[in-house]
Structure 1
Amino acid sequence: MPRDFDATSPEGRMLSIEEVADILNVCRRFVVTLADAGKLGVVERPEAGQRRIPAAAVETYRSEQQAKARHALDELGAISQRAGLYGSDVKKV
């Protein structure tokens, strides 16, 4: 289960790959892929080598993904409704 994310945290806050993975409820490797693809804003990589990702960029990505998921569910509901899969006239198998 994803960890609660405080969207009110300071805008300049930087998160580790592990923290982002916990927030998004994905594996660390997927976060690295997102970071390398530029989907998490400007990722800092200090000389120590560990990537640091802006908390604001993580919140933006998470919000966009949630909106896409809601839209897809709405579309699926509309398709199901047009197919007659909603309502009291649905036959139970």
Structure 2
Amino acid sequence: MPRDFDATSPEGRMLSIEEVADILNVCRRFVVTLADAGKLGVVERTEVGQRRIPAAAVETYRCEQEARARDALAELAAISQGAGLYGSNVKMGRK
């Protein structure tokens, strides 16, 4: 379960790959893929090569993904309703 993310944290706060993975509830490898693809803003590297990602960019990405998920769910519900899959006359396969 992702830990609570404090969106009010200082704008310049930088997060590790592991912290971002915890916030987004994904694996670290996926975060690296997102970072390398430029989807998490400007990623800085420490002297030893570890990536640091801006907290504000993580929050932006998280909000965008939640909005996409809500939109997809609403579209699926509309399609299902249009196909007659919602309603009291649908049998749920119970005997």
Q: With structure 2 as the length reference, what TM-score do the two structures score? A: 0.95
- 1:35 corresponds in structure 2 to 35
Partners in 2 of 1:92 and 1:50 — Cα distance? 51
- 1:18 corresponds in structure 2 to 18
- 1:4 corresponds in structure 2 to 4
Unaligned runs of 5+ in 2: none
Partners in 1 of 2:22 and 2:92 — Cα distance? 40
Unaligned runs of 5+ in 1: none
SS at the partner of 1:52?
strand
Size of the aligned set, in residue pairs, is 93
- Give the residue type in structure 1 aligned to 2:32: V
Instruction: Provide, for residues 11-61 of structure 1, a one-character-per-residue CA deviation record: whole Å limited to 9, x for no partner.
Output: 000000000000000000000000000000000012221100000000000
- Give the residue type in structure 2 aligned to 1:56: A
Instruction: For 1:12-91, list aligned pairs within 5 A.
Output: 12-91=12-91
- Give the residue type in structure 1 aligned to 2:10: P
Partners in 1 of 2:5 and 2:53 — Cα distance? 14
Instruction: Identify, as 1 or 2, the structure richer in strand.
Output: 2
The Cα of 1:89 is off from its aligned counterpart by: 1.3
- 1:92 corresponds in structure 2 to 92
